[in-house]
Amino acid sequence: MPTTLEAKTPRLVTALPGPNAKRVLEQDAKFMSPSYTRDYPLVAKRGLGAIVEDVDGNSFLDFAAGIAVCSTGHCHPKVVAAIQKQAAELIHMSGTDFYYESMPQLAERLVRTMPGAESKKVFFTNSGTEAIEGAIKLARYATRRDKMIAFYGCFHGRTMGALSLTASKSTQRKGFGALLGGIEHIPYPYAYRCAHGHTAETCGAEILEQLEGQIFKRLFDPEDVAGIIIEPIQGEGGYVPAPKFFLQELQRICRQHGIMFIVDEVQSGMGRTGKWWASEHAGIEPDILCSAKGIASGMPLGAIMARESVMLWKPGSHGTTFGGNPVCLAAALATMDLIESEYKENARRMGEYLFGRLADWTKNFNIVGDVRGRGLMIGIEIVRDQRTKEKAADLRNAIVDLAFHKGLLVLGAGENTIRLSPPLLIDQEQADFAARTLEECFREAGKKI
């Protein structure tokens, strides 16, 4: 019989939270910053693959993956071995001041995944938000302009520059005073709630008209705009994909005016959608692409990748002490091997399988308004009633909590969406367990209306 960690599906042995978990929660309440947002009391101890065990010996199937981070699952033996080997050899050197082999090695592998004929260059960071900060600076530096356009609903991070681009939830900005100036937000093409009744393929034409006809005419001359930044699939905003034509048109507009086309693939990248980058599905070629989260299977790493003719900043203009730390790079190289050899394809296949499995949900459950996404980046929007599309945040929260009590870890996204972002290694049995469990949760939550 496999141990709980080796099993493919969860096993609960105590009421939740269990006694050990309660002890940690008490200590946490005393000492930890209250700004964290914990949806349910999971106190994790160990993880393997898509299974996480808590401090009381309960095991869970993880369809959250530490917010889409543990791309190769928890503690993949090859990632662990790479980290251990590197930690015994060289932990830190600072790539800002010295050289080490894995920096250009990983950079070369990353840029090979990027579309476009021009050579690319890479700057490594510690996180997604730091990659976005760098992208803002790079776009300004490369264009000598300072205005930016971003989208409502998008999340780009919490440091002051990235937060200025973020327009996801007002609590993320409230109380922090003035942010970066010169940023305008425009609507994101959200097909399920499209004011013009468009489909997932056609939603957004009016937004582009607004950009060219209003913003560029009344607010910012396009020649003052340094960059337009977009998530090809909105993450924190509710797992909303932008239509292919929309991304292509944005690229055309950027090229026309010499604006940097910045694509934030912090959540959608690294194989999650079945390709290295979600933007590949639209056939676009970003000037600057930001990555983090799944890039190093849980070790803190981010990357700014840009066309060679864009990344021309001079020595000293940008740097970092820890970004691109050797141990994180070793984890990333092992992660790329695994994604390339198996998990990108598995994400595509299991995504297709799951979408097939979930296809009837909007017919079978009146509280399921929309099922959308790509690969293993799947959003399920919960509504009070399909006819009115009234957002049902309370039901969504109830479903997330019910799922936890049945051994399935999922997270919310946006106001009323459940996100499925499992490790890219899940198999059919695990996909079926997740789908079955969510169906039970929908039935139970539906009774509460």
Ligand X SMILES: Cc1ncc(COP(=O)(O)O)c(C=O)c1O
Region of 35-43, 103-111, 126-134, 432-440 interacting with ligand X (CB under 6 A): 126-134
If one asks whether residue 133 binds ligand X (CB under 6 A), the answer comes out as no
| Contact track, ligand X, 61-80, x by CB under 6 A | ------x-------------
Helices (H), 19-112: 19-31, 65-68, 77-89, 102-112
- Report the residue from 129, 143, 346, 416 that binds ligand X according to the rule CB under 6 A: 129
Nearer to ligand X, 73 or 235 (CB): 235
- For the CB of residue 237, give the shortest distance to ligand X in the complex, in Å: 9
| CB contact burial 204-242 (16+ within 10 A = b; e otherwise) | beebbeebeeebbeeebebeebbbbbbbbbbbbbbbbbb
| Contact track, ligand X, 307-346, x by CB under 6 A | ----------------------------------------
Sheet of 417-420, strand order: 368-374, 377-382, 417-420, 411-413
- For the CB of residue 13, give the shortest distance to ligand X in the complex, in Å: 32
Nearer to ligand X, 36 or 98 (CB): 36
Nearer to ligand X, 235 or 423 (CB): 235
- Token pair 């097909």 in the structure block, residue: 191
Nearer to ligand X, 165 or 383 (CB): 165
Longest dimension (CA), the chain: 68
Q: What's the rounded Cα separation, in Å, for the pair 421 and 270? A: 12
Helices (H), 183-271: 205-210, 244-257
- For the CB of residue 137, give the shortest distance to ligand X in the complex, in Å: 15
Nearer to ligand X, 128 or 326 (CB): 128
Q: What's the rounded Cα separation, in Å, for the pair 378 and 355? A: 8
If one asks whether residue 54 binds ligand X (CB under 6 A), the answer comes out as no
Nearer to ligand X, 151 or 155 (CB): 155
Report how far apart, in Å, the C-alpha atoms of 85 and of each of 90, 140, 169, 325, 326 are.
Answer: 9, 39, 41, 14, 11
Q: What's the rounded Cα separation, in Å, for the pair 188 and 204? A: 7
Give the residue from 278, 271, 279 showing the smallest Cα distance to 296: 271
SS3 assignment, position 102: helix
Region of 202-210, 231-239, 242-250, 275-283 interacting with ligand X (CB under 6 A): 231-239
Helix, strand, coil tally for the chain in percent (to 5): 40, 20, 40
If one asks whether residue 235 binds ligand X (CB under 6 A), the answer comes out as yes
# of chain residues touching ligand X (CB under 6 A): 15
Ranked by CB distance to ligand X, the top (closest) residue is: 128
Of 274-293, which residues contact ligand X (CB under 6 A)? Answer: 292
Of 249-268, which residues contact ligand X (CB under 6 A)? Answer: 264, 266-267
- Report the residue from 145, 156, 281, 419 that binds ligand X according to the rule CB under 6 A: 156
The three-state DSSP-derived secondary structure of 116-149 is: CCCCEEEEEECCHHHHHHHHHHHHHHHHCCCEEE
| Contact track, ligand X, 136-155, x by CB under 6 A | -------------------x
Region of 24-32, 95-103, 121-129, 387-395 interacting with ligand X (CB under 6 A): 121-129
Sign of CA dihedral 186, 189, 190, 191: positive
- Report the residue from 70, 132, 289, 327 that binds ligand X according to the rule CB under 6 A: 132
Region of 58-66, 90-98, 128-136, 303-311 interacting with ligand X (CB under 6 A): 128-136
Region of 75-83, 125-133, 201-209, 239-247 interacting with ligand X (CB under 6 A): 125-133
- For the CB of residue 68, give the shortest distance to ligand X in the complex, in Å: 7
- For the CB of residue 127, give the shortest distance to ligand X in the complex, in Å: 4
CA-atom Rg of the chain in angstroms: 22
If one asks whether residue 231 binds ligand X (CB under 6 A), the answer comes out as yes
Q: Is 265 buried (19+), middle (13-18) or exposed (0-12) by CB count in 10 A?
A: buried
- Judge if the upstream peptide bond of residue 17 is cis by omega within 30 degrees of 0: yes
| Contact track, ligand X, 164-203, x by CB under 6 A | ----------------------------------------
Q: Please enumerate in sequence order all residues whose Cβ is within 8 A of that of 230, keeping only pairs 6 or more positions apart, or say none.
A: 150, 151, 154, 188, 242, 247, 250, 262, 263, 264
Q: What's the rounded Cα separation, in Å, for the pair 131 and 157? A: 9
Nearer to ligand X, 61 or 240 (CB): 240
- Token pair 């296949």 in the structure block, residue: 349
- Report the residue from 157, 222, 269, 324 that binds ligand X according to the rule CB under 6 A: 157
Using CB under 6 A, list all residues that contact ligand X: 67, 127-129, 132, 155-157, 231, 235-236, 264, 266-267, 292
